Amino acid sequence: MPEIPDLNIFNKNLSKRLVGKTLTEITILVPRQLKVPESVLKEAFDGQKLAAITREGKELHFAFGNGHVLGLHLMLHGTMYWYEGSNENKFTIAELMFSDGTGLAITDWQKAVIIMLDPMPTKVPDALSIPDGYLSSALKATSRPIKTVLTEGKMVRGIGNAYVDEILYSAKISPFSKANKIPENKVNDILKAIKTVLEDAESHISKNFPDTITEKERDFLQVHLPRHDLTPSGETILKAEINSRKTYYTESQELFE
């Protein structure tokens, strides 16, 4: 699933190519996840100039000149591809055709991609914009595993399974730790790790895949490495499931319970 590092780069590359152009037609090939009829989407967006693209948590928001916003959540396997003329990409959910002939195909073999009209705002902070004191206070209210709390998106937006593992590894906190048992100094370590891990990942992806709008390899990660037994520093990678999420960690991560 694309997370903040991927989506920030997608946002930059989509904006560079599409902002200021007119969407001549939006076509929905698989309406399974639509909450409104395709005709309503077409009325809102066809013929409108794209004013900006922003990232909101794990969503991309395409803001048009008439005030309407097209929200896109790529879910687990959603992928975007450029095309010109005819779209030949398999498992296409939607096509966006712009005035200069640039096409954007949104695909997903699971058909789980969510396309929204005017997504509702949320008060849940983005992982890169957590207010002072917020995380410490919020964690005290739940005894669930810290892995679950950070992944599910109800307390912090934008990070998912892979990067939560990386953040907890960097902060040296066990993913099984009860959220309300984590001491203040270790909550601060989580906050520092969120910023460092996400920014370092974005820098790596941007350097190696500067023009990408599709999720790339994650072999640069330190612990969330499904095909590896050891971290780059030689620690044994332990594997478990927490609330049905595959979790990767090491013995060096402290457990608070």
pLDDT one-digit tens code per residue, 14-27: 999 999 999 999 99
Q: Are residues 139 and 241 in the same domain?
A: yes
Q: Are residues 74 and 30 in the same domain?
A: yes
Bridge partners, 15 (sequence order) = none
Q: Are residues 84 and 184 in the same domain?
A: no
Please write the tens of the pLDDT for every residue from 87-115.
Answer: 999 999 999 999 999 999 999 999 999 99
Please write the tens of the pLDDT for every residue from 61-71.
Answer: 999 999 999 99
| Residue at which a domain ends, from 88, 117, 146 | 117
Contact indicator for 133, 168 with CB cutoff of 8 Å: no
Could you tell me if residue 177 is inside a domain?
yes
- For residues 172 and 167, give the distance between their C-alpha atoms in angstroms, rounded to a whole number: 8
Work out the burial of residue 136: count CB atoms within 10 Å of its CB; fewer than 13 is exposed, 13-18 middle, 19 or more buried: middle
Q: Mapping DSSP to helix (H, G, I), strand (E, B) and coil, where does residue 43 land?
A: helix
Domains: count for the chain: 2
Averaged pLDDT of the chain: 96
Could you tell me if residue 104 is inside a domain?
yes
pLDDT at 86: 93
- For residues 5 and 36, give the distance between their C-alpha atoms in angstroms, rounded to a whole number: 30
Average pLDDT over residues 123-140: 96
Q: Are residues 96 and 153 in the same domain?
A: no
Could you tell me if residue 129 is inside a domain?
no
Domain containing residue 181: 134-249
Q: Are residues 152 and 187 in the same domain?
A: yes
| Residue at which a domain ends, from 86, 117, 148 | 117
Could you tell me if residue 256 is inside a domain?
no
Could you tell me if residue 221 is inside a domain?
yes
Average pLDDT over residues 182-198: 98
Please state whether 165 falls in left (phi above 0), alpha (psi between -120 and 50) or beta.
Answer: alpha
Q: Are residues 163 and 241 in the same domain?
A: yes
Q: Are residues 113 and 151 in the same domain?
A: no
Q: Are residues 84 and 177 in the same domain?
A: no
Could you tell me if residue 45 is inside a domain?
yes
pLDDT at 224: 97
Q: How confident is the model at residue 1 (pLDDT cuts 50, 70, 90)?
A: confident
Bridge partners, 80 (sequence order) = 106
Q: What share of the chain is helix, strand, coil (3-state, %, to 5)?
A: 30, 25, 45
Residue 51 has a CB neighbour count (10 Å cut-off) of 14
| Residue at which a domain ends, from 92, 117, 142 | 117
Q: How confident is the model at residue 55 (pLDDT cuts 50, 70, 90)?
A: very high
Q: Are residues 138 and 240 in the same domain?
A: yes
Q: How confident is the model at residue 159 (pLDDT cuts 50, 70, 90)?
A: very high
Determine the Cα angle at 77 with ends 219 and 29, to 5°: 150
Could you tell me if residue 128 is inside a domain?
no
What predicted TM-score, i.e. pTM, was given to this entire model?
A: 0.94
Please write the tens of the pLDDT for every residue from 198-244.
Answer: 999 999 999 999 999 998 888 899 999 999 999 999 999 999 999 99
pLDDT at residue 150 tops 90 = yes
The side-by-side arrangement of strands in the sheet containing 114-117 is 79-84, 102-107, 92-98, 22-28, 48-56, 59-64, 69-73, 114-117
Share of the chain above pLDDT 90, in %: 96
Q: Mapping DSSP to helix (H, G, I), strand (E, B) and coil, where does residue 48 land?
A: strand
